[in-house]
Structure 1
Amino acid sequence: MVKQELEKLGLHYTNIELGMIEIKEDITNELKQKLKSNLAESGLELLDDQKSILVDRIKNVIIEMIHYSEELPKVNYSDFISEKLGYDYTYLSNLFSEVKGITIQYFIINHKIERAKELLLYDELNLTEIAFKLHYSSVAHLSNQFKKVTGQCPSFYKKIGEKRRSNLENL
């Protein structure tokens, strides 16, 4: 979609990644507003202030790390994010909290729980394996965070998922 919108407006790009576009030429404010409007119609947002862009990059690093990597990094998340983006973690953490109103740690925990929910529903790993995969110190630690975020314990969440799946299969 982004490529199509850029082509419609005659803009040339050098790179398109998740959440980022590098455009070859300088663009006028009028053209930028048109691109912003066209992207908004598709449910996308054009971020053009540096703080929002950096916060979006932080979010993308975390989402990619938790949802799309086979292995979570062996180093602390703070070191990983800092190294990946080339900024001091304290600066990134303060900026993220200022813009999003939540901490990076809270964002990470929520995404780890979302990933745990996916893994529970896929039913390929048991809770011990999920805790290990998501770098929890123990099953109890994962279970406590899971309950704090979802209001349910992992086993109950899994049973509900299985029940829904069997109800759908019986339609």
Structure 2
Amino acid sequence: MKLYLKYDINIIFRKTLENQLDKIGIAYKINGLGEVEFTQPLNPQEVKELTVLLSTYGIKIINDHKTEIVQRIKDTVTEMVNNTTIEKSFKTSVYLSEKLEYSYTYLSSIFSENTYSSIESFVILKRIDRAKSLIIKDRLTLTEVAYTLGYSSVAHLSAQFKKTTGLTPTVFQRIIKQREANK
């Protein structure tokens, strides 16, 4: 017997983080996807213990300011792409600037310097990943996917999908249906 599972990685991350933070018994507040605020400073032993506990789950503590900003950009973009309540016509640059409280020019510069890629390219990759998920898991039509992700048209979605994956969304759908039929 096989079970197919659907999960939300953000909920898993948050619960894992809460469980590990509760183990060390320090008061905290989770501010966002990758940010924890402690009510009192951590001593070196607590930081070491927390580092070991979190590393078991592949979670790393970031100590470098630029790396922290890049991670916050990635987390915010992921949140933006996955959040169905955010207005899709909202410009990424405005959203990131308001959410992270830095100018978009600064954020773009830090991101490019550290990832050798642009924020725009990262947004496209996340949108296409989300499109694949909507096609596979939610069984949405291409029109519904385009609307959900804020594309101006199915043609625009298809062009970005093909450029990113090498396949058109229609061919991708066909491959998924074939795989499921062969199971």
TM bin, normalised by shorter chain, reads: 0.7 to 0.9
SS for the counterpart of 2:29 is strand
CA shift for structure 1 position 70: 4.0
From 75, 86, 90, give the equivalent of 1:75.
Answer: 90
Structure 1 contact 12–23 (Cα < 8 Å) conserved: yes
Asked whether 1:120 is paired with 2:135, we answer yes
Shift in Å, 1:12: 1.8
% same residue:
39
Structure 2 residue 50 is matched with structure 1 residue 40? no
Conserved 8 A contact 1:97-1:103: yes
Residue 25 of structure 1: aligned partner: 40
Q: Could you tell me which residue of structure 1 aligns to residue 74 of structure 2? A: 59
Structure 1: gaps (5+ residues): none
Deviation at 1:146, TM superposition (A): 0.6
CA distance in 2, matches of 1:121, 1:17: 28
CA distance in 2, matches of 1:45, 1:117: 28
How far, CA to CA, are the matches of 2:26 and 2:138 in structure 1?
46
Bigger mean CA offset, 49-58 vs 158-167:
49-58
CA distance in 2, matches of 1:138, 1:117: 16
Query: C-alpha displacement at 1:71, in angstroms?
Result: 4.5
| TM-score (norm: length of structure 1) | 0.87
RMSD of aligned Cα (Å): 1.9
Q: Find the residue that maps to 1:14 and give its secondary structure.
A: strand
Classify the secondary structure of the residue corresponding to 2:152. coil
Q: Corresponding residue for 2:151?
A: 136
Distance 1:94 1:121 in 2: 35
Name the CA shift for 1:72/1:163 in 2 (closer, same or farther; >3 Å): farther
The list of structure 1 runs, each at least 4 consecutive aligned residues, that deviate by more than 4 angstroms after superposition, is: none
Residue of structure 2 in register with 1:149 after alignment: 164
Q: Report how far residue 125 of structure 1 moved.
A: 3.1
Instruction: Give the alignment's TM-score, normalised by structure 2.
Output: 0.82
The number of equivalent residue pairs is 168
CA distance in 1: counterparts of 2:115 and 2:55, whole angstroms? 20
Specify the SS of the correspondent of 1:145: helix
* Cα contact 2:162–2:168 (8 A) shared by 1: yes
Bigger drift between 16-25 and 86-95 goes to 16-25
Q: CA deviation at 1:53?
A: 2.0
Letter in 1 for 2:32: E
Letter paired with 2:105? T
Amino acid in the other structure paired with 2:49: K
